[in-house]
Amino acid sequence: MVLLANMGRCVYCDRDSSAEVDHVVPLSANGADDRRNLVPACRECNLGKSDKGLFVWVAELAYRERAKECGASPHGPNGLVWMRDYIDSAFDGVQARIEAVKAELDDEARSTWFFDRYWWLGKNDPVWLWRAWVEPSAAEARAKGYPKLPPPPRMRITRSRLGQLLEPVPPDETP
C-alpha cells in the first residue's frame, strides 16, 4: 500500500519509482514502525538517507541537485542565503508529499481495498513482481474510488457420504 502512494514515485526525489519503504523518522531515532511514519522511496534515496533526519537528507539532495545544475559554484551569485532558500523550498515540497502520502494511507476506502485483496502478501515479495501484478488493479481502483468487494455468497454445510459439502443458500431463504 505504501509503495503505490505518491503515484508510485519516491517521496524524496519525486522522479524514480518507489522500490522500498522508508521510515521518515528513522528507527534508530525512536521513529515508529507505523504506516504514519512510512513513505515510498527509491533505492538510491533510501540508502542515501539511511538514518539521517529528514531536513539533513533533503538539504543533501537539494545541494546535489543544485550542484548538477550549476557546476563548480552551486551557490550561484547570491551565496549561501540563496542556497538556504533553495533548501527550504525543497524541504517544503518533500513535506507536502509526505503529508499527501499520510492522507492517502489514512483513506479508509483505500486501506480496506488493499487489505481485502492483498493482506496475505509478505514483506519479502520481490517489489518488481508485486508492482507488475498489483499496480494495474490499484490504478483502476483509484479511478473508481476503491470500491468495496461484494459480500460473499451465503453457504451452508450439508452432510453427504463423502463428508462435509458446501452449498449456496438461496437469497429468499431466511436464516
The string of pLDDT tens digits covering residues 137-170 is: 888 888 888 888 777 778 777 766 666 677 778 8
Looking at the 3D structure of the chain, how many domains does it have?
A: 1
86, part of any domain: yes
44, part of any domain: yes
21, part of any domain: yes
143, part of any domain: no
Picking from 85, 105, 135, 121, the residue whose alpha carbon sits closest to that of residue 39 is 105
The percent of residues above 90 in pLDDT, for the chain, comes to 25
Q: Which domain holds residue 84?
A: 5-106
User: What is the per-residue pLDDT for 118?
Assistant: 72
- 169 contacts: CB under 8 Å, gap ≥ 6: 153, 154, 155, 156, 175
Tens of pLDDT, residue by residue over 54-90, are 999 999 888 888 777 665 565 555 556 667 788 888 9
Name the strand (E) or helix (H) holding 163.
Answer: strand 163-168
9, part of any domain: yes
112, part of any domain: no
User: What is the per-residue pLDDT for 86?
Assistant: 81
What angle, 0 to 180 degrees and rounded to 10, lies between the N-to-C axes of helices 80-106 and 54-70?
130
85, part of any domain: yes
What is the β-pairing status of strands 38-41 and 20-23? antiparallel
Picking from 38, 36, 43, 37, the residue whose alpha carbon sits closest to that of residue 18 is 43
79, part of any domain: yes
